Chains A and B, each alone.
Chain A
Amino acid sequence: KQEVTQIPAALSVPEGENLVLNCSFTDSAIYNLQWFRQDPGKGLTSLLLIQSSQREQTSGRLNASLDKSSGRSTLYIAASQPGDSATYLCAASNDYKLSFGAGTTVTVRA
């Protein structure tokens, strides 16, 4: 059974600082890994998807890396802004379903 862990559970940084969010998974036989953003009480906004054959994926200020062999993915957010404050979830895809981590709650202080 796939287990996904995200560390840290919470993070508070001043505006402008770069963010590093970590995700680890136990079963490396994944199809892909998705990163989501969730605002309080809201749905899931997909940020990035990395295929299992890829090492990295970029979208604007976001960059995600994947090391399948070690079961790790990292989401980097450059030059953080207060609007980046949210919970970030990673999810690993096995057998046509996603297994989610508990998320990292980010607060960017103005």
Chain B
Amino acid sequence: EPEVTQTPSHQVTQMGQEVILRCVPISNHLYFYWYRQILGQKVEFLVSFYNNEISEKSEIFDDQFSVERPDGSNFTLKIRSTKLEDSAMYFCASQRSGGVYEQYFGPGTRLTVT
């Protein structure tokens, strides 16, 4: 069964450094998402991406964040200058089409900012 994959599984970085989290969505899916979960808190929506542009972003997704689909298969989340509060589990999800269809989640990348 097709699945969403994410790399790395765990990333440790120093405050102020740039990180790129990578995701490979399911191949025939058209909508892509990033969510994050700070330890002990709810899973929060960050951004949705369709047709090579951002469809919607939350207030968390400020200028320090960007997303890209560089080669038609990968979907990346970049954090330009990491802060301690960016430490969280980041989940990528993909969806065949919008609305009624199920979102399929990857296993997550645990980001630790020291």
* Contact among A31, A51, A96 for B48, CB-based, below 8 A: A96
Looking at A17-25, A38-46, A58-66, A75-83, the stretch in contact with chain B turns out to be A38-46
Q: How far is the CB of A29 from chain B (nearest CB, A)?
A: 11
Contact (Cβ within 8 A) A34 B42:
no
> In terms of DSSP, what is the predominant structure of the interface of chain A?
strand
Q: What number of residue pairs across chains A and B have CB atoms under 8 A from each other? A: 60
Contact (Cβ within 8 A) B42 A101:
yes
CA of A9 to CA of B100 in the docked complex: distance in angstroms?
28
Residues A97 and B99 in contact in the complex (CB < 8 Å), given A42-B107, A43-B91, A43-B106: no
A106 at the B interface (CB under 8 A): no
Please give, as numbers and ranges, the residues of chain A lying within 8 Å of B16 by CB-CB distance. Answer: none
B75 at the A interface (CB under 8 A): no
Contact (Cβ within 8 A) A44 B31:
no
> In terms of DSSP, what is the predominant structure of the interface of chain B?
strand
Please give, as numbers and ranges, the residues of chain B lying within 8 Å of A43 by CB-CB distance. Answer: 89, 91, 105-108
A98 at the B interface (CB under 8 A): yes
- Assign chain B's interface to a size class: 20 to 34
CA of A89 to CA of B44 in the docked complex: distance in angstroms?
12
Contact (Cβ within 8 A) A96 B55:
yes
A-B interface, 3 closest residue pairs, ranked by CB to CB distance from nearest: A43-B107, A100-B43, A44-B105
Which B residues lie at the A interface, using CB under 8 A? Answer: 31, 33, 35, 41-45, 48, 50, 55-56, 89, 91, 93, 95, 98-108, 110
Q: What would be 18 A-B contacts, judged by CB atoms less than 8 Å apart?
A: A36-B105, A43-B108, A44-B43, A44-B108, A89-B43, A93-B100, A93-B103, A95-B56, A96-B31, A96-B56, A96-B95, A97-B33, A97-B45, A98-B45, A98-B93, A98-B103, A99-B45, A102-B42
Which A residues lie at the B interface, using CB under 8 A? Answer: 31-32, 34, 36, 41-44, 46, 49, 51-52, 89, 91, 93, 95-103
